[in-house]
Structure 1
Amino acid sequence: MSEREAMISNNKGKIPIYCLLVSAYFFSYFFRVSASVSLPAISTEWGMSASLVGFISSLYFYAYAFMQPISGALNDRFGPLRIVSLGMLTTGIGALLFGFASNPTMLGVGRLLTGFGLAPMLSGVLVYQSHSFHRDKYSFFSGITYTLGNFGAVISVAPLAFALDEFGRRNVFVFLAFLNFALAASLIAFRRRDPVISIDGKIERKGFLDNLKNSFRKILRSRQLKLMLVLWGTSFGALMSLQGLWAVSWYQTSYGVSYGTASLWSTLISIGVMVGNF
């Protein structure tokens, strides 16, 4: 068997797990952008102010941002299959709270839990890629990861708007919670095949705080990384402000189009991001 054939054979057992992790990352984008469809409709029904709607939506981003460095260290320490599965369970609970919410507080708690739960998804996929596939394929798999992840942003606008109109907020978010719980169970079933865990079944000993310190030290010492963070933070913040919350409402207000047309236009943003990542 040639080296290439051996590599393909070895990857066959890893691809299904990779697909599960990418599916988890898909939900990261789905819930991130879903507020642009679900919250404006709820605010009209309940008479919430724009500032309250913005605050409830932002709770996802606050929790997500706070957990990013912690999630990366946890994935390195305990393996992505365990951490991502726990995140999916938390996300499912957040989705249930959001679906059954009868007041702004429950909506906010649901968004907050969703942000906490989905924070480990991207770093989990990247950790798995780095441990499972040849280093020459890291960018290749990363491109696929970001492309499929952004597909969650596509589904969470026009298709989600249609589902909410047809089935109602409660039924839709109960279904989403079920999908998250099912994905968590699938990842837990594969936990012994986590590449971060050594052959003898023991977790590779990497200090949690040491991982955090080393990561921040590398960023602070690298001019290139600091410049990339500024560029990414600026562009991503602007994109999420539009795509993640105000796009549908802004299109309706500025151009006088229907809710369905505004949702479709907002979906095109996500399609553009997908094409760029691909």
Structure 2
Amino acid sequence: MLDERVTLVNIAFRMLGCAHDAEDVVQDAFARWFALSDEARREIRSPAAWLVRVTCRICLDQLNSARARRERYVGDWLPEPLPDDSRWASTGRDRAGDPAEQVALADSVSMGMLVMLESVTPAERVAFILHDVFDLPHTEIAEIVGRSPAACRQLAASARRHLQSDRRRAVTAHQHRDIVSAFKNACEHGDLDTLISLLDPQVTVRADGGGKARVALRAILGAQKTARYFLGLLRNKFAQELTEENVNGCPGLVSHVNGEVNGIVAFAVHGGRITQIWVIVNPEKLHAWREPSL
């Protein structure tokens, strides 16, 4: 059931925005499968579909309780940043012949998409991810969320409208990388004017330290404040080394101190300028960057 496990982890991560939680949910789903009697398992026509339903129901329960937990979180809660890893690009089906679907799958794990998914209801999130990303029919989604297929269609459509309303003119991956490179160089050289020119006037910075690392607890708004914040945050006297690496499939920056990753910076770039910046320094969200890939 290795292929099913990869697919389930992909689904659960997009639902929860946390790799550790996703792994725990999938482990729970498999535990429930093996707790069934042999006779009960034989009666299940599609074990893979059964595991998807159970995984999604556990995720839905967690999403419904997550908002209360995050009210107690110190500062902003942001999804977990992921290094490049083929594990996060599998739906369990061969999509190699459809580049558009491959792009949609990659976009669904981007930091920008995961952040936007936090703003829709748990049911909308489940319906959107299962239908638009993993191509499940509304009849199957209905069994998971306890709604009619028509209601699930409306949930997915509502989430889709909300997510699309937050999008502006995007840039190519090459342009995104060039802008991130220019941002890095401007920070390293203390070039305030260049840094400001790369930022949208309404740029927003959100930082996640989880109370375990020192960061701004409130969002930073505007190009001037953002530029000055990063010139202070990334100045060389802290012996930081910045490297350009993909973060959740998009060009970003990784901060190292004494050879150890201590922070991740992800970017949204629209209309040729940086519109959103996410800084993750909570050490509990950096395990994937500190541990060697399996």
Higher strand share: 2
- Say which structure, 1 or 2, has more relative contact order (CA 8 Å, 6+ apart): 1
Q: What TM bracket, shorter-length normalisation?
A: under 0.3
TM-score normalized by structure 2?
Answer: 0.26
TM-score normalized by structure 1?
Answer: 0.27
